[in-house]
Amino acid sequence: MTLPKHQPHRLVWPLLAAALVVSWSSGFVGIRYASESADVMLVLFWRTLMSGLVLLPFALMVGPRIDAGALVRQMAFGVAMMFLYLGGFALAIGHHVPTGLVALISDLVPLAIAALSQPVLGHRLTSRQWTGTALGVAGVLIVSLNSLSLGTAPAWAY
């Protein structure tokens, strides 16, 4: 006897996507306000730890089983992303680089990856991929335009 497959409600995925956008984008503002009362790296550590603990049960239930080597590679990638990407923007915000400018710079990472994919990886993007990248950059610029300013942060913080 096979059990009928349970289909999630048609709004589940759009709602999850909206929750992801809100939770991810609130990180810039959250770190900005948290940096006024705690060290930004400490805030980032606790944010990352709590997120990992919340997501761990889901990863164990539905994620693929990976071997020890893959686990080590994933851990190294995670540490690099936390330190380089999130740590970089957290430190910039902690040094009073305007949040809108930090968001703009970090949102342009996909453009940098697209631009470097050919010379570094030998992967040539299609015109459709470049069009999508251009639309993404245009969207980032439209959303960020009003919040851009240089602020009073030291030059190295940018």
pLDDT tens for each residue of 30-88: 777 877 888 878 887 888 888 888 888 888 888 788 888 988 888 888 888 777 888 88
The answer, as to whether pTM is greater than 0.85, is no
b or e along 35-67 (b: 16 or more beta carbons within 10 Å of the residue's beta carbon)?
beeeebeebbeebbeeeeeeeeeeeeeeeeeee
Question: Do 85 and 106 sit in the same domain of this protein?
Answer: no
pLDDT at 126 over 90: yes
Question: Do 108 and 133 sit in the same domain of this protein?
Answer: yes
Number of domains in the chain: 2
Question: Do 105 and 144 sit in the same domain of this protein?
Answer: yes
Question: Do 55 and 88 sit in the same domain of this protein?
Answer: yes
Sorting pLDDT into bands at 50, 70 and 90, what band is 3? low
* Residues 6 or more apart in contact with residue 101 via CB below 8 angstroms: 144, 147, 148, 149, 150, 151, 158
- How far apart CA 74 and CA 66 sit, in angstroms, is 10
Question: Do 51 and 22 sit in the same domain of this protein?
Answer: yes
Question: Do 90 and 17 sit in the same domain of this protein?
Answer: yes
Question: Do 101 and 89 sit in the same domain of this protein?
Answer: no
Domain that holds residue 31: 12-94
Question: Do 89 and 37 sit in the same domain of this protein?
Answer: yes
- How far apart CA 49 and CA 64 sit, in angstroms, is 21
72 in any annotated domain: yes
